[in-house]
């Protein structure tokens, strides 16, 4: 029995239009984890963020823009797991962890430092308990903080 009966469509999306990989998945993600994370991304996230992560300007953020930097900065690392789409997702903590790491490696690989630490299941579980409600101002403040710390 299939866990997601609609994966026939998702499989078609993966095969036809999902060309999101900007960086090599390995060694952070094994092929099995990478494929499972990609499917979960397409089923649970691509409806808003689209298969390639570019979102919708002014409405849905581009996942390729800042997440790699957010995941490496102590003040913003929790942000990614706290946004409503992550924290309220039906994905288990393990599945969400795989998806977040997959997004970072495939859509933000060029932003990740060699010492990048992938999210752990325990970390994601802790962060997602505190859902962000008003995401926009928090995201803008984090972007400003990152820009200032880069100077």
Rounded to whole angstroms, the Cα distance separating 100 from 50 reads 15
Q: Is the pTM of the predicted complex or chain greater than 0.75?
A: yes
Domain with 108, as residue range(s), is 9-149
Q: Identify whether 1 is part of a domain.
A: no
Q: How confident is the model at residue 23 (pLDDT cuts 50, 70, 90)?
A: very low
What's the token pair of residue 32? 């099995």
> Number of structural domains, the chain?
1
Q: Which helix (H) or strand (E) holds 52?
A: none
Q: Identify whether 83 is part of a domain.
A: yes
Q: Identify whether 4 is part of a domain.
A: no
Rounded to whole angstroms, the Cα distance separating 100 from 128 reads 12
Rounded to whole angstroms, the Cα distance separating 85 from 132 reads 10
What is the structure's pLDDT at 73?
87
Q: Identify whether 67 is part of a domain.
A: yes
Reported as a single tens digit per residue, the pLDDT across 25-82 is: 445 678 888 999 999 999 999 999 999 999 999 899 999 998 999 998 887 999 999 9
Q: Identify whether 3 is part of a domain.
A: no
Length of the chain measured in residues:
151
- Coil/strand/helix, residue 93: helix
Q: Identify whether 93 is part of a domain.
A: yes
Instruction: Report helix angle 93-107 to 121-128, nearest 10.
Output: 100
User: Which DSSP string do the residues of 6-26 spell out, in sequence order?
Assistant: THHHHHHHHHHT-----S--T
pLDDT at 109 over 60: yes
CATH number of the domain at 119, please: 1.10.760.10
Q: How confident is the model at residue 12 (pLDDT cuts 50, 70, 90)?
A: very low
Q: Identify whether 80 is part of a domain.
A: yes
Q: Identify whether 15 is part of a domain.
A: yes
């Amino acid at each position: 029995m299939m866990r997601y009966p609609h994966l026939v469509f998702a499989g078609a999306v993966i095969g036809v239009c999902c060309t999101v990989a900007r960086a090599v998945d390995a060694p952070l993600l094994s092929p099995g984890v990478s494929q499972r994370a990609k499917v979960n991304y397409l089923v649970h996230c691509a409806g808003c963020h689209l298969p390639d992560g570019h979102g919708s300007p002014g409405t849905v953020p581009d996942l390729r823009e800042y997440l790699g930097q957010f995941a490496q900065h102590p003040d913003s690392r929790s942000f990614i797991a706290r946004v409503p789409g992550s924290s309220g997702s039906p994905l288990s903590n393990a599945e969400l962890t795989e998806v977040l790491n997959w997004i970072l490696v495939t859509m933000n690989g060029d932003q990740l430092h060699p010492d990048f630490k992938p999210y752990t299941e325990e970390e994601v579980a802790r962060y997602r308990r505190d859902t962000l409600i008003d995401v926009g101002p928090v995201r803008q403040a984090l972007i400003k903080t990152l820009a200032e710390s880069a100077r």
